[in-house]
Structure 1
Amino acid sequence: MDIYLVGGAVRDELLGLPVKEKDWVVVGGTPEALQASGFKPVGNDFPVFLHPQTGEEYALARTERKSGHGHGGFVFHTAPDITLEQDLIRRDLTINAMAQAPDGSIIDPFNGRADLEAKVLRHVSDAFAEDPLRVLRVARFAARYYSLGFRVAEETVQMMTRITLSGELRHLVAERVWKETSRALMEKSPQIFFRTLHDCGALADLFPELADLDGIPQAPDHHPTVDVLTHQWRCLAQAARQNLPLTPRYALLCHDLGKSMTTPDGWPDHRNHERRGETPAREMSERLKAPKEMADAGMTMVRWQVQVHRALKLRPPALLHLLRTLDVLRRPRRLKFLVDACEADFRTCAADPKAPFPQREFLIGAAEIIRTVDVAGLREAGLNGPALGRALDDKRVRALKEYKKEFQEQWQQDPSP
């Protein structure tokens, strides 16, 4: 048996990036031989084995044949006479189709090293078109390496466009689309994932709610002179600069979906777009089968973003209503991701990206104020039931009124970020 390091480990080592995991391909081997050496079989689609000491994946060299629709529509074949080159030619990009021999030499039959040096993402062969999931994978790699200067080869964009036009993307299962999307949202340039999909027409198939924002104008007094879709890209880029986690990034993906439902006679103001946005945000999350926390984040951002931006102008009863609706006492993380996402939105629109965003400190402080309002004294006074609830609300409103006054006085003295 000959064993080679393959895929991302070879690519990232040549790029000088940290190697997070290693995958190996076994040429000339059999399942029986690997198991006799202590390897543990895993996976149902084709023979993959875990190394008995390292736990790393070792796959038998294989070929594959298209047998149906979607990402899973393949028949795989393994045999001792399958060559390394036959295995590599089925991979997605040339930069992922290199192998490293035990002596450290690089086997590169499809010029992946040259494409690394040229900073080009190029498909290996026409077999690329047989797996529609590769459209999303290429877009994700584009998002990962955009900051290094990488671009997608024009012939690969054309191949991705043909896959889109074939209708194959509609056969992808939601779980795989969500997995690629969630990983892409956490890349260094997440906006490039969606822009790349837009360039090949796939955005309209996979994220029609986003595609519908293309070309829709916004009010210039609140936003730079870009359409709503471009604003979405800029928000995601800002979220990456702030190093935000996945939840607020997904919330930002949903936050302006309602603007697609404004009729042209209402442009560019988009009145009540937050209310209109609830339906497309819910539909997108349901179609993607996004986890419950993500779906909730999208809806919460759509509904309450305007209130967050206006937080310092809210009267204490309205502020209490907002905090209660967000359920901040039981779910403090919900307020955290909401203000994180709103801050990214604010900085995208602000003339000075370092301008202060006092809403964050103000709302988090307000949540702490209502958390510390003592209810025991009200009970000791004999209050219970609805009367207790009203008295507690009155006490919280008074506390918020005093807190707001103190916050504004302090802010006027020291308006630092």
Structure 2
Amino acid sequence: MRIYTVGGAVRDGLLGLPVKDRDHVVVGATPQQMQALGYRAVGRDFPVFLHPETHEEYALARTERKTAPGYHGFAFHAAPDVTLEQDLARRDLTINAIAQHEDGSLVDPYHGRDDIAQRLFRHVSEAFVEDPVRILRVARFAARFADFSVAPETNALMQRMVDDGEVDALVPERVWQELSRGLMEQRPSRMFEVLRACGALKRILPELDALWGVPQPEKHHPEIDTGVHVMLVVDWAASQGHALPIRFAALLHDLGKGSTPADEWPRHHGHEARSVKLAEQVCARLKVPSECRDLALITAREHGNVGRAFEMRPTTLVTLFGRCDAFRKPQRFVDMLRAAECDHRGRTGFEQRPFPQAAYLEGALKAAQDIDAGAVAKQFQAQPQKIQDAIHAARSDKVAAFVALHRPASA
């Protein structure tokens, strides 16, 4: 029996990065031997065991064979005669197909160290085409390792997979899993760059893919291209360390511009309403969690209003708060303001420009919250139909006092 550390732990160690999780492959062993040593079996499709003390995963060396479309269509073979090289051959990229023995020596049959040195994502073998999830993984790795590029032959292979319809076999849950993980990396835009280059973005997120080549007014968007703008927005969100719901909202906020008739370019009147409909479409198709979906829809609808905050009357501001359910869910409203700030700063030359609208609206909301709605309602017990209007008026008075003190004189 020989045990090796494999995959990301070896790769990250060679890159000088912190190693978080360690996976191991065991060559020359049977399930019975593993259990006799105290390992606990957890694998459903193939033999995987947890170490009795560290609880790290140990998988028996295996080969795999494609049996059906999609990423579930595989048959696995694990036996003591499966070699380490055979196990490594089924992996996606050469940089993930390096093994390290317990004595520290490396086994690198597919020259992964060379590709690390050259900062290249290169497929191990033609078997890459058998699993469409690998396209998403390469794109996600590009977001994590921003100085790596996809080898031309690997991009050609991914293009072939798209053309052959392999990407269409991906289930929504897996697409969302990989996209959400990629959004949380340091440069999310790289993920979408890789997906566009091989044609996969048009199949996975056609609503987003439609944004490239769509112009915007240069005065407000020096980068002009809407797709470029959205990538700047998500990268700004990442640079600020924002949570996934904010990053996802940043990604979807301008989808409606992709459906603006060309004869109306570069203006995009009414794009917010179209953005909401398209964002709903994306969220339903990918089965996006409600926290991410709800913030994305609110941001798509209201990000323009946030930018116009100083122009709004106090009563209109209170209506905005109500429409966003901000009195019940104030943190979600604040998160929407963060996403709107990403929209503002995600423009060429705007990165350091102030965005006082966010703090202004947050302060106005706190002012509106500073009334006793129950006490107001009690005053109108005999006229319940007037309660909502009375609460709205009381909140508007509080916001008016705040506006008088905090709205810029130039607004």
TM-score by length of 2: 0.97
% same residue? 47
Decide whether the 8 Å contact of 1:242 with 1:344 is kept in 2: no
Instruction: Say whether the 8 Å CA contact 1:209–1:280 is kept in structure 2.
Output: yes
The DSSP-based 3-state class of the residue aligned with 2:145 is helix
In structure 2, the residue corresponding to 1:81 is in which secondary structure?
coil
Matched position secondary structure for 1:95: helix
Q: Please tell me whether residue 120 in structure 1 is matched to residue 93 in structure 2.
A: no
| Aligned partner letter, 2:397 | R
Amino acid in structure 2 at the alignment position of 1:259: K
Over 3 Å counting, the alpha-carbon distance change for 1:23 and 1:395 in structure 2 is: same
Are 1:386 and 2:385 an aligned pair? yes
Task: Give the AA of the match of 1:362.
Answer: Y
Following the alignment from structure 1 to structure 2, what is the Cα–Cα distance between the partners of residues 382 and 171? 59
Residue matched to 1:401: 400
Question: 8 Å contact 1:375–1:392 — kept in the other structure?
Answer: yes
Contact 1:219–1:269 under 8 Å retained in 2: yes
Q: Using a 3 Å threshold, how does the CA distance of structure 1 residues 379 and 284 change in structure 2: closer, same or farther? A: closer
1:64·1:74 contact (CA, 8 Å) conserved in 2? yes
Count the aligned residue pairs: 410
Deviation at 1:248? 0.9
Tell me how far apart the structure 1 counterparts of residues 218 and 312 of structure 2 sit (CA, whole Å): 24
- Taking a change above 3 Å as real, the CA distance of residues 377 and 299 of structure 1, as seen in their structure-2 partners, is closer
Aligned ranges for residues 5-84 of structure 1 at < 5 Å?
Answer: 5-84=5-84
Query: Does the residue aligned with 2:231 lie in a helix, a strand or coil?
Result: helix
Please name the residue that 1:189 is paired with.
187
Alignment of 1:102-181 (within 5 A): 102-146=102-146, 149-181=147-179
Range with greater deviation from structure 2 (357-366 or 97-106) = 357-366
C-alpha contact 2:217 2:224 (8 A) present in aligned 1: no
Question: Does the aligned pair in 1 maintain the 2:66–2:75 contact within 8 Å?
Answer: yes
8 Å Cα contact 2:189/2:232 also seen in 1 = yes
1:96 aligns with 2:96: yes
1: distance between equivalents of 2:270 and 2:71? 40
2:219 aligned residue: 221
Q: Choose 41-50 or 345-354, whichever is displaced more.
A: 345-354
Instruction: Single out whichever of 219-228 and 101-110 deviates more from structure 2.
Output: 219-228
Residue 375 of structure 1, CA deviation: 3.2
Q: Distance in 2 between matches of 1:68 and 1:377?
A: 65
Q: Which runs of 5+ in 1 are unaligned?
A: none
Q: Report the CA distance between 1:333 and its aligned residue.
A: 2.2
Contact 1:248 / 1:337 at 8 angstroms: preserved in 2? Answer: yes
Does 1:313 pair with 2:311?
Answer: yes
State the shift of 1:349 in Å.
2.6
Equivalent residue for 2:363?
365
Matched residue type, 1:91: R
What aligned pairs does 1:232-243 form with structure 2 within 5 A after superposition?
232-243=230-241
Report the counterpart of residue 276 of structure 2 in structure 1: 278
Tell me, in whole angstroms, the C-alpha distance in 1 between the residues paired with 2:183 and 2:373: 42
Superposition map of 1:251-330 within 5 A: 251-330=249-328
Q: Which amino acid aligns with 1:369?
A: A
Deviations, residues 2-47 of structure 1 (Å, cap 9, x unaligned): 1100000000011110001000000001111111111111131111
1:87 matched to which residue of 2?
Answer: 87
CA separation of 1:131 and 1:375: change in aligned 2, threshold 3 A:
closer
**1:393 maps to amino acid:** H
Q: Is the 8 A contact 2:380 2:386 kept in 1?
A: no
**Structure 1 stretch displaced more, 38-47 or 13-22:** 38-47
Q: Distance in 2 between matches of 1:331 and 1:380?
A: 24
Rounded Cα–Cα distance in structure 2 between residues aligned with 1:379 and 1:173: 50
How much has 1:313 moved relative to structure 2?
Answer: 1.2
Q: What CA distance in whole angstroms lies between the structure 1 residues aligned with 2:377 and 2:71?
A: 61
Alignment of structure 1 residues 333-372 onto 2, 5 Å: 333-349=331-347, 351-372=349-370
Please give the secondary structure, in 2, of the residue aligned with 1:299.
helix
Q: How far off its partner does 1:400 sit?
A: 0.5
Q: Do 2:223 and 2:348's aligned partners in 1 also have CA atoms closer than 8 Å?
A: no
Cα distance between partner residues in 2 of 1:118 and 1:48 = 33
SS at the partner of 1:406? helix
CA–CA distance in 2 between the matches of 1:379 and 1:91?
65
Deviation string, structure 1 residues 36-69 (Cα, Å, up to 9, x no partner): 1111111311111111111111000000000001
CA distance in 2: counterparts of 1:233 and 1:350, whole angstroms: 11
Aligned amino acid, residue 138 of structure 1: V
- Give me the whole-angstrom Cα distance separating, in 2, the residues matched to 1:38 and 1:345: 54
